Amino acid sequence: MAFQTLIEASKSCSNAKVLQIGSGGVGCEVLKNLATSGFKNITVIDLDTIELSNLNRQFLFKTTDIGKPKVSAAAAAVLKMSPDSNITPIQDNIKNPEFDLNWFSNFDLVINALDNLGILNLLIFYLFRFNEYPKKLSKKTFKNLDARKHVNLMCQASNLPLIETGTAGYNGQTTVIKRGFTECFECQPKPIEQKTFPVCTIRNTPSTLVHCVVWAKDFLFNQLFGNEASKETEVPPGDSQSNLNTLKSRYVSEGEDGLEFDKDDDDALRFVAASANIRASVFGIKNESLFQIKAIAGNIIPAIATTNAIIAGLAVTQAIKVVSGQLSSCKTIYYAYGGRRPQLLFKEPLLSPNPKCTICQANYFKLELNFEKNTLQEVIDTITNYLDSIKSNKDESDSFQNSLNESVINSEPDDDVEFSIVEGSSPSESSGLNLKKSPESYYFDPLSPLVADPSHSQKHHLDSESQGNNKL
């Protein structure tokens, strides 16, 4: 029985079409594991190019690959390991409009392999290990957060299973998201990035090393080496200045342009580190190494190759279960190294959807429109009338649906009707509908209401096959 199950799982993997988003630290490991585990049809998309700093943890790349697109180099390396795999690399931004619902519908499974940990689970780890929230999150983390939200929305609208992964240092997580079965990425609130600090705290009452680094990087460095526009006319007394001949000579040679802080500029980094540690000592704050200050100044979350490998292996295991029809056996899995508990891996059941979530509890419909003839008002009126019909017949939804089917089947095609609902899904009540444009169609986005009366949005489900040609 077990052998037969293994054969069926192998066939499922071979036939499945997988979309992988990201080919960085986690992505390289996921792509390699997918191909060597029997997945034959893989599309991987990533916008980045290979840098020297990637080579210590992204083992599909070599020094000769520096400057090349990550997806192309990763696909070429994996094809050497698994020549019979069909890997399609795309160097692009997944948020570009050509990657719409029609494009997503070509796949059976989506895997998010973005390097940074999902924000919610990052908070869970910090609370679990340190009983406090992280003091600072990098801009790249929030950039990837935006991408995760977009992919989550597209998977919800196209009813595709999504495997989320993420790592941050010695912590990692992976989970499975399926519309109507599990909570989605937006079911729980996310934190807001703290981009600025109060000036009085930075200048007068620093309480953490981060405050001291911000002071040294954004204030002192600019006062000494920045251009005239970035300097302040009144400098508070008592600020120490380092006589760094190298920076001074560079500043003189730059003239009016001045210097800008760069974490990869060794002279600038050492100046900021020394200044921050001196200021920290004055206020009784523990000093840190150059490496730690570089991470703070550059908003760097360290990436560990071992963490990436562990999470990638778990994610592909989840993928095999999903394509084999064993979604109920999937778990949310956390990897936490260095905690007080002896085990490294923790798992919990997949949580059910949040009934108040505006993403996974929304109605999604794909429309076909004639942009040359239809006006926006006509679309709004048609949708409003359609939702009003659902509301007025909510107690007789079955008979309404049957009469709608019959009217469509028995009626001749009407050339004057220029748009129609071609498919849709609705797991529960939504909080409003809005149209968002894609190249060939529109899809509903619940983020801002289109219909003035929220009560127009009622629980309803359209069978995408039976309603494929319904005219409104």
Residues annotated within the binding site are: 22-27, 46, 54-57, 70, 115-148, 184, 187
Q: Helix, strand, or coil here: 286?
A: coil
Query: How many angstroms separate the CA atoms of 277 and 253, rounded?
Result: 28
- How far the first Cα of the chain sits from its last, in Å, is 50
Selection from 462, 466, 356, 454 nearest residue 409 by Cα = 466
Question: Which residues have a Cβ under 8 Å from the Cβ of 320 and sit 6 or more positions away?
Answer: 9, 12, 13, 37
Selection from 102, 189, 91 nearest residue 145 by Cα = 189
Strands in 108-188 per DSSP E: 109-112, 162-168, 171-177
Q: Name residue, tokens 């004639």.
A: 370
Active-site annotation holder among 13, 155, 200, 360: 200
At residue 229, what is the residue type? A
Q: Give the annotated binding-site residues for ATP.
A: 22-27, 46, 54-57, 70, 115-148
C-alpha to C-alpha distances, 338 to 47, 124, 130, 344, nearest whole angstrom: 33, 15, 11, 8
Selection from 182, 177, 126, 168 nearest residue 149 by Cα = 177
Strand partners, 86: 41
Selection from 61, 68, 24, 19 nearest residue 44 by Cα = 19
Query: How many angstroms separate the CA atoms of 357 and 360, rounded?
Result: 6
**Backbone phi, psi, residue 169, to 5°:** 65, -125
Question: Which residues have a Cβ under 8 Å from the Cβ of 235 and sit 6 or more positions away?
Answer: 223
Question: Which residues have a Cβ under 8 Å from the Cβ of 24 and sit 6 or more positions away?
Answer: 46, 48, 54, 58, 70, 113, 114, 115
At residue 326, what is the residue type? Q
For residue 352, with 0-12 CB atoms within 10 Å meaning exposed, 13-18 middle and 19 or more buried, which class applies?
Answer: exposed
Tokens of 348: 């919990």
357 is catalytic: no
Q: Name residue, tokens 């107690």.
A: 395
Regarding beta strands 109-112 and 86-90, do their DSSP bridges make them parallel or antiparallel, or are they unpaired?
unpaired
Q: Point out the residues that are catalytic.
A: 200
